[in-house]
Chain A
């Protein structure tokens, strides 16, 4: 199954993507690979705005018909926004994982940590190892 891995994003081993929004904030979602593996999403328990999290903390939950999965923060920081559209339309994560299906925005304690995350090539390598 082909999977999309945009070049401009960074990735976490647990299949989150991160985008540098250029305003000191970063947007996080789950990858195309992750949404395909989960199947049809039916519920998203949103990240709590104002929560201060460490990298690899579980900070929201996505549930498909099959199962519930934690989503981990890729960075240390404060959750500043959650995607409210997912409350009524969790399927956006399946339909547009890198766009309308974003999960939350985070204000990182150390923005430079972004550079230490996996780039698209490294993430593609991780996926081929998992197969």
Chain B
């Protein structure tokens, strides 16, 4: 039986086309993925992301544990409410998952990890936690709703509990605040301003309806994927996995090499690769002609073959965009094999779109 979020009935009532996603019955769209995508870029859209896994850490050695567990350095965030994006690596430097960790007011930490990797993440975290004084607790009774777009924050403020509106208005990007038993974070996966709200499942339906009444339309997983790809954000399982390191995945910026004595899991393997030079890199691609880039298409470069890891038609740019893993020395011009025909493409810096604006 697939799992359902607390908003399942609301999705069906709003015309959501439900599909299986990592064992969850989720809305892929509510009629038009394109309209939903463009709406987020123009005004605001809301996403049910309750399938994602929330894990709380408590205990004296929580911070010491995260210094070991994460490739990014938890000591970059010290104040309650600060958030950090990081990869969690295996001993070979491969990516087990990417996650966001929030510093909580009670000296604890909250991790949000991917739904598709829940089981292995919990197993790994549990095993690593054995040698630390830390309690690991999954929070399946919490739901999570993202509201994203240039008007998202303004429209949400009156709907937040208590006096939270004013606090959230002034919330810096990539920070969070507790509003009673809600956690409201100025984070997201679209390249737009917006918030992500973690709240008790019992209150999710009511908040969702009030967002709808405030003119915010539901947005499915389809648009979530095209929005994040335009924003140049990696998707776990597509753009990186346990066979690839952050250095091969465009995520070196998330690896904290200093202080050198911080012995995080995967560090030795990663340092070897860093000194030898990573054999592959992740690049943004745009197709020069008509067509659509798709994951697993072959990329032919002057330095050898590569592969598209994520590809789509960009609704904002009205052309095909993608991420591709190619040999490290590959140049700008390349070709992509689409249905056994080769067509010209160019490697570009990404993100492709930020805050509603085309960057290429």
Contact = CB atoms under 8 A, between A and B. Distances in A.
A65 B28 contact: no
B34 A66 contact: no
A100 interface: no
A34 to B, nearest CB: 15
Nearest to B32: A40
A42 B29 contact: no
B291 A66 contact: no
The number of chain B residues touching the other chain, given as a range, is 10 to 19
A45 interface: yes
A61 interface: yes
A67 B295 CA distance: 10
B273 interface: no
Interface in B280-309: 290-292, 294
Contact of B222 (A45, A63, A66): A66
B31 to A, nearest CB: 9
Nearest to A37: B17
A66 B33 contact: yes
Contacts of B37: 65
B33 A65 contact: yes
Contacts of B222: 39, 65-66
A87 interface: yes
A42 B33 CA distance: 11
A40 B292 CA distance: 13
Secondary structure call for the B interface: mixed
Contacts of B290: 43, 87
Contact of B226 (A45, A63, A65, A67): A65
Nearest to A88: B290
Interface in A38-94: 39-40, 42-43, 45, 61, 63-68, 87
Contacts of A40: 32-35
B291 A43 contact: yes
B292 A63 contact: yes
B312 interface: yes
- Most chain B CB neighbours (cut-off 10 Å) among A40, A43, A65, A87: A65
Contacts of B315: 42, 65
B33 A68 contact: no
Interface of B: 28-29, 32-35, 37, 222, 226, 290-292, 294, 312-313, 315, 320, 339
17 contacts: A39-B222, A40-B35, A42-B34, A42-B292, A42-B315, A43-B291, A43-B292, A63-B292, A64-B33, A65-B37, A65-B312, A65-B313, A65-B315, A66-B28, A68-B292, A68-B294, A87-B290
Given A40-B32, A43-B292, A68-B339, 9 more contacts: A39-B29, A39-B32, A40-B34, A43-B290, A45-B339, A64-B33, A65-B34, A66-B28, A66-B33
